[in-house]
Each structure stands twice: as structure tokens, then as C-alpha cells.
Structure 1
């Protein structure tokens, strides 16, 4: 049976988009306390089911899906540039491989036109026809519209013919950003892409016996199995170590580990991999928001997914990648970083997020190179003493305060223009290289 909290969430999902709701109304409608209603509405807001609008109140909204764009199609490009499709609608699902700006003669354009590419061009009908005839879709900028002849050709070739009010430079920038974002997303693999559904795996009920575990273990590739309640919610996990020396008739509930680590579908593979390595887990249960078991993810699944990422031919640079490229080791254990326009906020000073990433990268480089260790930053306390302006060169000096086998604490000093500008205390989890 569902809890009152879950019942409220289900009720909110049934409300039409635009409907108003309040703590008092929910509490009265479902006969729950106002405290329970408030907590459920807050979780619904975190899930993107509702939104609180000033002077309006809490309103049911359309939940945004976290769908990853595996292929950047022409249909996606139309949304990015707020364009209008005039012809070739049958080709909107085709994948965009590259775009070309047609600021050249028709003869020169032929060298750059390829199939599944996009020619960005102005009000030049001959160039538009040439692109379509050679397999490229056409995007007309500047608010110009295509002729009927070009529209018929686009329909015949099943190549999208799109127009937008933006200028060529703006459109090129928008599409380039979309392609970069898509490449970055391809690297962020989530558990929903790799886990084994419950129908294809094995698990036990808390009322099963140790004998049932041993029979299951004989035909499985791993020795860890989730344990569920009667309503399929995760109750625990049982391993070979738990049943050693136990009688066959012993009930699983008495030997299982309660409150085990678990994963959810939206989690990244990298974060789950870290937990599995840290705790030495070969299998982790995957659960829904109501803690219902929906599958498992194994260390083998994790390894396969990470290998597939390495095989990808291209990847977009994240902000962390760009910061990593800008950091240099000036002297032993001392790192430098120059503040560029892209790393500043609206005040012209280095943004808090960028400075945090600079400290993280310097800390990683320090421990990785000199201590031969990998790390994950677990906690950071950062204090500013002086403003760090655009164009300043930062000197970052990490120093280990204390360290053990699994963690380390570092004091990091950041100097700008020879003055101490900031200081951070960083706590890291350490993973030994094997």
C-alpha cells in the first residue's frame, strides 16, 4: 500500500497543467496533515511537477524530461534556432553531421557540401538549389523566405528547407553550441541506459531461506542479490559472506544487510561507479522513487559502458576541461591560472564556480602527480580575502594537512597579484591506483 506522501504525489500528477494547488487544499482533499502536504508539494517542485510563481501561487506544470539527445537531428535544430520549416519535412529526423556557412561562390561551395550537412545561407536562390541538389539541407537566415521552386526541390529531395530571422553569425553560434552540448551529453551515461531490468535478473523475498539463496547463487554470475518486501520495495541485500555457516532453513531477513547502497535511473554511471569501487560492490540494486526494485547494475555493466565512452571519436569540452587546459605547474607543487573573460561573472571578477574548479583541478594534479593517487573532492570550504579581477594570474599552492589510506585534507592558498586572495580547506576521498 502506498504511503500518504506517495498518494499526494500521484494526485498532483493527475492535475491538469495550469491547475493551482495549495497546502491547505491538498490537506483537505486527501485528508492528510498540512505538514505532510507541504513536504509532498516540495518534492513535487523538485521533480518539476509544480512551480511556485510570484503573486500567482503553486501551479501544476508540464514536467521536463531528462531525455538525452543521442543524435542531433534537423528537427532539433529547428527548435534551437526557432526556425520555420518550408519544405522537406520528411527529412527532419535525419541526423546533422556538420554545417557550412555559404559565404562563397557556388563553385567554391561544391567542395564543402556533403550529405546530411546543413548549408547556412542568405537570399541566394541558385546557391540554395545547388545545396539541395547535392544532398545538403538549407537554412536561410535574415528573415528571407524561399521561392516555390526551392520548396518543391526540397520536398522532392526530402531535405529540410528552414528559415530563421536570426543572422548567419548568430545561427552558426547557436548550432555550434547545440552540437557541443550534444557531444558532452553523450559522455554522461546514466544508469537508465545500462541497468538490467528486474524481469531479467534474480532477487529474493525477505521471507525466503538461505537454501533459496544457495540455489540462486549456483546459476548466477554474481553472489549479491537484492531482497524485497512483499510489495517489491527494497528491503536489503544478501551476499555470500552473510550466509556463511548459516543453516539452510534460516530466513533471509535475519542475515541480510539492511539499508544497502542503491542507484536510481537518473544517476550518472561515473557517480555509481565511484560508490561501487569505494565500497567494493559487484552489484547494486536500482530502485524507483518509491524504493521499488526495478533492476540491478553490475560492475561488468559499468566497465562496458565506460569502454564505449572511450571509443567515441569526438567529445565536447566542458568548463572543467577548459579550466584543466588553462592550469599549468609553475613550480613544483605550485600551479598558475590566468583569469580570462569566460571565467568571470558580471562584475568582472572570477566566478565562484570557476575558482572552486581551479582549486579542485590543482588539488587533483598535486595528489595525482606527487602522491600517485586519484581522488574525488568530497567537501570544500572557500573564503575570499580580496577580489580576483579579469587578467590576474592566480598562484595556487596546495598543501596536505593530514592523510590516511582513504582520505586527505588539504589547505589550499590562492594568491593574486602577490597577495593572498582566497583560502580553501579541501577534503578528498582517495582511490589507490592499481
Structure 2
């Protein structure tokens, strides 16, 4: 193995978020700076490392490589639009919580915990205390920071940040970032559930090769790839019925619709149900083959996500929390966050409201998952803040795979809207 390959192998083995430098690689691998530089540039081309304006070159997850969502001090610096004054080595450390320094030194110390963030103004003693207790420091208001504090942060490898924003604005931005990160962690992607490196066939293979692979694996559907490992089709048992054993697969295969590992399970499941697919190949961003995903696994993961979800602050959840079941109807009081610029309930809120009602209707009928195909809304009145709306859903048609629901919305016996919803049942 050449030195160049050894360096690439070393970089690939680094922990996600680890800093990479020419001098560090050169010293560790006993090579010239030029050799280290060329290897790092190739690693960047391969997607093993990325250049960050604030933290330099760091090891990153390649496409398809699973890595948990993390809110690091480097991301916090971007959220707060902060300059990094010191402690560059700690930017990829995961952030735990933040605290605002608005008390005396003695009282403040008990609120500190490792990997926390202290938001503080021009208070040198608090800055030093926070660093000593393994907390990053964010100085608000754009105040100058004593060089002694900067040197101390560099010595410990703990980030020292400075922003021109005031404390209130910074705290709001960080709270918003934390909420978004929690939502992202709750969203299941194809990369979380797909089968990696399942058996494939080449487009020049024959029907006999397909039948042999069916016997070997007990699977009945396979992705077909070209010599560059790019998915070009899907082959299933129905495609080879009454075909000769020497027939090339590229003559009988079905054109493949593919899913990327970064796509959400919800969007892919909707496509699979609508198109009638039982299996889809999963590809990396360059369309090379990664694995497969099946419809049954997607639906199971959706059901599990609904049961285990801990997020309760999305727009949909806020609407759902306002809905109250009342016999066969539902009621909702219009709140300020639901209105538009002219003071009436927004159309988007109406759409989400109906979606929630229809979902509850079919949950009661033991149909756990639905996908809304169309929603036709006819507005016949207006609803303002504090108005109490009554929603009356009625299933007017249902088949094995779909249903139609009529919803009428009233306020004090006056009809406000009438909505017709078509859904797919899963």
C-alpha cells in the first residue's frame, strides 16, 4: 500500500467531526507536507472530509454513512453569527445545554455542566470560570475579550465565541435551533431502515441467472445495475414469466424508480403506494446502488414513528392539540397563531385541520395510516380569533385502497367551509 493510500485509509478511520490538517497528517504518517496535502484533497473529492469556514477541514460522513443529528458548538456559532476567538479544536463537540450568566459568581457555578454553553457579556471572571468548568463561552454585545481569556480557551480547546447580537436574541436563536434539531431527529429517513448491499443482477445477465438468484436468496425482486453500479431497472417474477432462459434482463426488466437514502420515509411510502411498488432500489447521491427498501418496512416504520414520537411543537401538533372530540364531531377554538394578515383563519390551517380530523376518523376505524391524495376546499364564510368551530366528517365512499370523506365546518350554525377529501388507505 502506498503512502497516499495509507493516508486515505487513516482519514477514513477518523471519527466524524475530527479535525484534519496537513501538518498533523504529515507528522503522524511521517510523510512530506505535499503528500499529505494531495491525500487530503483527494479525501475531499471522495467526500471523506469537508472544509468549514469556521472549523477548518474536518472528517464528515460520506453519502449513505449513518451519523446522528448533532448540534455542535460549530453549528451554534453559525446560528448566533458568532466569530470564533479561541478553542477552535472544540467546535465539533456536541452541545448539551446553555445558561445565561445573570447572577453572582458564587450562585452561578452550580448551573454549569460539562459541554454546556455560557452566554455572558463583558465579565472576565465569569468567562474564566465557565472555561475552567469545561463550558464554552459566547460573549454577546460584541464586547472585546481579554487576550488572557482567549489564550486560556486555546489551551483547553474549548470554544470562545463572540457575537454582536444581544443576549435575548441569541437565546431565542439557540432555542429555535434546539427545537429544529429535535424535530430532525424524529424524522425517519430511508437511510434508517433500508437493507444495504442486497443481491443485484447485471443488465447483461439472463432470465436463468435471475431464477438461480431467486432460489438462492428466496427473494423475488432485484435491482439491475450497469457496469458502473448505477441502477438501471428492477426485475421481478412477473417480468420473466414465459420468457426463455437465455433472454437478457435488459430486454424484460422494468425501468426503476429509485429512492435516495436522505429522503423521508413518508415521501417514499406515498410514491410506492401511488405507483404500486412493493420494492424500490435505494441509491447514493451519485445514483450508485446502495440497497433496497420494501413497502411493508416503510409502513411499519411510519407506524412505529407515530407511536414513539416525542416531538410536540410542530405546526401539525399545535393544530392537533387544539382539536377536541365531541361525539361524532370535532371542535376547535381559533387561536392567534392560526390567523392570516386580515384576521381570519388561514387556508393552510384549514387544510391541516381537515387532515387531522380525517386521520382521526380512520384511526377509529382501525386504519392506522392514510395518505391524502386531494383536498377540495370551498370557503363559504370567515372565522376570526376565539370563534369556536365545529367539524362534521362523513365517510361517503370507501374501497380496499381508498376512501372519500366529506367535511363540513360550522360556526354558530353558520357553515364556514365544505371540504371533500380523497385518501389512500395503507
TM-score band, normalised by the shorter chain?
0.7 to 0.9
Match of 2:15 in 1: none
**TM-score, normalising length: structure 2:** 0.74
Per-residue Cα deviation, 1:344-381 (whole angstroms, up to 9, x for no partner): 23333222222211110011112211465531111101
Structure 1 Cα separation of the partners of residues 176 and 83 of structure 2: 20
Structure 2 Cα separation of the partners of residues 160 and 339 of structure 1: 45
1:401 to 2:400 alignment: no
8 Å Cα contact 1:69/1:185 also seen in 2: no
Give the aligned length: 361
Offset, 1:326 = 1.5
Aligned with 1:219 (options 216, 220, 223): 216
Structure 1 Cα separation of the partners of residues 278 and 160 of structure 2: 51
Structure 2 Cα separation of the partners of residues 354 and 309 of structure 1: 23
Offset, 1:335 = 0.8
Q: Equivalent residues in 2 for 1:49-128 (5 A)? A: 70-128=69-127
Structure 2 Cα separation of the partners of residues 390 and 327 of structure 1: 15
Structure 1 Cα separation of the partners of residues 406 and 170 of structure 2: 45
| Counterparts in 2 of 1:314 and 1:427: CA distance versus 1, 3 Å | closer
SS at match of 1:111: helix
- Structure 2 unaligned residues grouped into runs of 5+: 1-62
Structure 1 Cα separation of the partners of residues 151 and 177 of structure 2: 29
SS at match of 2:188: coil
SS at match of 1:249: coil
Structure 2 Cα separation of the partners of residues 310 and 81 of structure 1: 33
SS at match of 1:267: coil
Offset, 1:309 = 6.3
Larger deviation, residues 293-302 vs 115-124? 293-302
Match of 1:357 in 2: 352
Structure 1 Cα separation of the partners of residues 309 and 378 of structure 2: 40
Aligned with 1:379 (options 362, 374, 377): 374
| Counterparts in 2 of 1:419 and 1:237: CA distance versus 1, 3 Å | same
Per-residue Cα deviation, 1:109-129 (whole angstroms, up to 9, x for no partner): 222211111111222222222
Match of 2:130 in 1: 131
Structure 2 Cα separation of the partners of residues 307 and 352 of structure 1: 28
Structure 2 Cα separation of the partners of residues 312 and 132 of structure 1: 37
Aligned with 1:248 (options 216, 232, 245): 245
Structure 2 Cα separation of the partners of residues 223 and 427 of structure 1: 32
8 Å Cα contact 2:228/2:288 also seen in 1: no
SS at match of 2:110: coil
Offset, 1:155 = 1.8
Offset, 1:399 = 1.1
**TM-score, normalising length: structure 1:** 0.73
| Counterparts in 2 of 1:140 and 1:324: CA distance versus 1, 3 Å | same
Q: Equivalent residues in 2 for 1:197-208 (5 A)? A: 200-208=197-205
Match of 2:148 in 1: 149
Offset, 1:289 = 8.6
8 Å Cα contact 1:396/1:414 also seen in 2: yes
Larger deviation, residues 301-310 vs 81-90? 301-310
SS at match of 2:149: helix
Structure 1 Cα separation of the partners of residues 422 and 299 of structure 2: 27
Structure 1 Cα separation of the partners of residues 152 and 228 of structure 2: 59
1:271 to 2:267 alignment: yes
| Counterparts in 2 of 1:310 and 1:321: CA distance versus 1, 3 Å | closer
8 Å Cα contact 1:409/1:427 also seen in 2: yes
8 Å Cα contact 2:303/2:369 also seen in 1: no
Structure 1 Cα separation of the partners of residues 262 and 366 of structure 2: 34
8 Å Cα contact 1:283/1:296 also seen in 2: no
| Counterparts in 2 of 1:312 and 1:83: CA distance versus 1, 3 Å | farther
| Counterparts in 2 of 1:402 and 1:326: CA distance versus 1, 3 Å | same
1:416 to 2:400 alignment: no
| Counterparts in 2 of 1:377 and 1:311: CA distance versus 1, 3 Å | closer
Match of 2:258 in 1: 262
Match of 1:328 in 2: 324
Offset, 1:204 = 3.0
Structure 2 Cα separation of the partners of residues 377 and 327 of structure 1: 19
1:284 to 2:280 alignment: yes
Structure 1 Cα separation of the partners of residues 131 and 111 of structure 2: 13
Once superposed, what is the RMSD of the aligned Cα atoms? 3.4
| Counterparts in 2 of 1:216 and 1:144: CA distance versus 1, 3 Å | same
8 Å Cα contact 2:225/2:289 also seen in 1: no
Structure 1 Cα separation of the partners of residues 170 and 307 of structure 2: 30
Match of 1:53 in 2: none
Offset, 1:229 = 6.6
Per-residue Cα deviation, 1:122-170 (whole angstroms, up to 9, x for no partner): 2222222221111111112223232223222222222111122222221
- Structure 1 unaligned residues grouped into runs of 5+: 1-64
Structure 2 Cα separation of the partners of residues 68 and 350 of structure 1: 40
